[in-house]
């Protein structure tokens, strides 16, 4: 039965993430029937399947039926947790090593984090109401269970008993209220906080229209009960709760230390691991949190974070135990027992500074885009591993992906567009392309394409820190930028509205469109799922093709390598999503 269940799960999960509701429901029911016939029934597997089935109904806005399946899942998980305790003692005591550069290990405030690398560490130091597993499944974390009421507008979360911060202070529902109010206060400067605009009163407070934080629709009914009230039903809301901007924060520490509370030497957290202060400066070690009461399948006791870029060479030299490889197609042949397929929902894009000449003209932006051969880019730079982005910003594998809407490679048309724009070519001089780390020779490929097809010269500013790149792009000091856009949850809202709405703090591109704003605002408040996706499709096409403000180049496809002697959960050989939880890694005897 195990093989049949595994392959059915892969198909069902894909259908669920694409909102193919009837297919997903049918497959999950078949899986549950097969599980009942196993010699030893996998209660954890059954619980997670009920959670997925509940999400299928929630995606349909049928919250009453969803709640029925949630209750079955919660009851099963309670049974599983009684017999499955996280020991956190790793086999022969070998340390797990995860490479992360110094710049990403300086501050661990879950509300203000921006970099993906820092988010990875925070996800192991803190935990929110729910978490996403490697199948993009929503599972309880700090919350033991929840109820959805009032047609999807009211959520009641029951927290686990005996929760503590790493300094021994009790963790309560009040810590969530404190964190959300702090993050929504304009002076905090929290990132991704506009995801919380789904909550009553949150946008007015964050935009400075109301300075009364008690107007935000989140409150503690008692120490273990948290109420959240939404403006409108939102199928993506539980996914939002897995983002670090929703994590609890230790009010007693922040009130005592102020902004320095999140420095490594001061950090108090609630996740499966904590910083070991006495070794941090030397080895940057995380150790098992003895007060952690969450669910975990791994047994690691120590994780070191060497200050290196986690590349293949270091993995081969046994300096790190995990790495991701984007540009070598032969990885499965070279490392057949260590290779994972990483299916992260991520789009790598070219963004323009739309507020400054010459890129304030969409014809000029379209011209440069149509001078790019994406297939050649993927073949030459990424050895065919990445997937050319012929569709929209929303990546494949999630609802709302729009295939074949991107502007195609057509150098003749590109030249005609420049003529049509009547651009003075002196304005095409001194153009600068800013690049974040991790793009290999993509900028050189683009530089050559524009020179060869359009006679345009572009200066490359490589490996810029994220803060400098975004600041310079917003100010018009650079004209274009190469950026990777990951999604926190599989819903187009997380990448379209969050990235490109006129009021978004992440719209560094100077692009404003009332039509786009109306589309995504209407979509996020719509209770009709098909209409919602139709609106997101229109918004994606407007952004990518009609305006060419932010243009996809390729979608992430990669391999992950996990050293022999370690096992990652029960995911088989596929990892969905970019975050690895150390609590799910098991050291095994070789």
- Retrieve residue 368's tokens: 């440069």
Report yes or no: 232 and 527 within 8 Å, Cβ to Cβ: yes
What per-residue confidence (pLDDT) applies to 209? 95
> Which uninterrupted H or E stretch holds 30?
helix 21-36
Does this model's pTM top 0.85? yes
Distance (Å, whole) CA 19 – CA 27: 13
- 586 bridge partner residues: 567
pLDDT digits (tens, 9 = 90+) for 17-36: 888 999 999 999 999 999 99
What per-residue confidence (pLDDT) applies to 90? 44
Say whether 232 sits in a helix, a strand or coil. coil
- Retrieve residue 25's tokens: 């429901």
Report yes or no: 236 and 520 within 8 Å, Cβ to Cβ: no
Distance (Å, whole) CA 445 – CA 440: 10
Q: Report phi then psi at 586, rounded to 5.
A: -115, 130
pLDDT digits (tens, 9 = 90+) for 33-43: 999 998 888 89
Query: Domains in the chain and their CATH numbers?
Result: 2-83 (1.25.40), 86-338+561-567+582-590 (3.40.190.10), 346-555 (3.10.105.10)
- Measured torsion, CA atoms of residues 195, 197, 202, 205, in degrees rounded to the nearest 10: 90
What per-residue confidence (pLDDT) applies to 91? 46
Distance (Å, whole) CA 557 – CA 345: 9
Neighbours of 227 (CB within 10 A): 16
Give residue for tokens 């200066």.
Answer: 459
In order of 190, 216, 328, the CA distances from 201 in angstroms are 17, 5, 48
In order of 127, 247, 446, the CA distances from 460 in angstroms are 39, 38, 10
- 131 bridge partner residues: 139
Angle in degrees, 0-180, between the axes of helices 21-36 and 43-59, rounded to the nearest 10? 160
Nearest partner of 284 among 413, 526, 433, 121, judged by Cα: 121
Angle at 303 between CA 160 and CA 77, to 5 degrees: 25
Ranges of the chain whose pLDDT falls below 50: 88, 90-91
């Amino acid at each position: 039965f195990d093989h049949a269940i595994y392959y059915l799960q892969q198909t069902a999960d894909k259908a669920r993430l694409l909102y193919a509701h009837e297919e997903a429901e049918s497959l999950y029911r078949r899986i549950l029937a097969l599980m009942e016939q196993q010699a030893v029934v996998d209660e954890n597997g059954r619980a997670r399947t009920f959670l997925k089935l509940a999400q299928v109904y929630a995606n349909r806005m049928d919250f009453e039926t969803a709640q029925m399946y949630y209750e079955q899942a919660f009851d099963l998980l309670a049974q599983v947790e009684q017999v499955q305790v996280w020991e956190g003692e790793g086999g022969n005591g070998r340390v797990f090593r995860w490479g992360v550069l110094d710049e990403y290990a300086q501050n661990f405030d879950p509300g203000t984090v921006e970099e993906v690398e820092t988010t990875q560490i925070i996800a192991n130091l803190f935990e929110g109401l729910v978490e996403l597993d490697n199948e993009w499944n929503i599972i309880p974390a700090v919350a033991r269970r929840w109820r959805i009421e009032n047609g999807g507008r009211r959520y009641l979360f029951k927290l686990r008993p005996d929760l503590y911060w790493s300094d021994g202070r009790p963790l309560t529902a009040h810590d969530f209220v404190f964190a959300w109010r702090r993050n929504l206060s304009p002076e905090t400067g929290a990132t991704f906080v506009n995801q919380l605009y789904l909550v009553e009163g949150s946008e007015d407070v964050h935009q400075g229209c109301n300075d009364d934080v008690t107007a935000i629709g989140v409150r503690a009914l008692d120490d273990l009960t948290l109420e959240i009230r939404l403006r409108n039903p939102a199928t993506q809301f539980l996914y939002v709760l897995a983002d670090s901007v929703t994590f609890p924060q230790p009010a007693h520490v922040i009130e005592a230390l102020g902004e320095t509370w999140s420095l490594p030497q001061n950090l108090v957290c609630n996740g499966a691991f904590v910083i070991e202060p006495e070794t941090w400066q030397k080895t940057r070690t995380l150790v098992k949190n003895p007060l952690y009461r969450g669910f975990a399948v791994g047994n690691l006791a120590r994780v070191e974070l060497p200050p290196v870029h986690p590349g293949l060479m270091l993995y081969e030299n046994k300096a790190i135990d995990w790495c991701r490889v984007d540009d070598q197609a032969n990885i499965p042949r070279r490392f057949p027992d260590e290779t994972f397929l990483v299916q992260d929902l991520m789009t790598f894009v070219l963004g323009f500074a739309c507020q400054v000449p010459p890129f304030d003209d969409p014809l000029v932006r379209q011209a440069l885009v149509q001078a790019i051969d994406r297939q050649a880019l993927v073949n030459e730079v990424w050895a065919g591993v990445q997937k050319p982005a012929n569709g929209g910003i929303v990546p494949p594998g999630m609802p709302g992906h729009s295939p074949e809407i991107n502007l195609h490679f057509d150098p003749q048309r590109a030249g005609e567009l420049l003529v049509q724009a009547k651009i003075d070519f002196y304005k095409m001089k001194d153009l600068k392309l800013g690049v974040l780390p991790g793009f290999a020779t993509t900028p050189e490929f683009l530089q050559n394409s524009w020179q060869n097809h359009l006679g345009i010269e572009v200066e490359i500013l490589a490996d810029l820190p994220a803060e400098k790149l975004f600041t310079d792009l917003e100010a018009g000091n650079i004209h274009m930028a190469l950026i990777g856009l990951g999604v926190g949850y599989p819903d187009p809202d997380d990448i379209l509205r969050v990235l490109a709405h006129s009021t978004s703090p992440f719209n560094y591109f100077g692009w404003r469109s009332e039509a786009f704003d109306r589309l995504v605002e209407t979509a996020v408040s719509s209770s009709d799922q098909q209409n919602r996706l139709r609106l997101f499709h229109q918004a994606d096409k407007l952004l990518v093709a009609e305006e060419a403000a932010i243009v996809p180049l390729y979608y992430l496809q990669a391999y992950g390598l996990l050293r022999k002697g370690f096992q990652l959960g029960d995911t088989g050989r596929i990892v969905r999503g970019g975050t690895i939880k150390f609590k799910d890694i098991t050291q095994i005897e070789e």
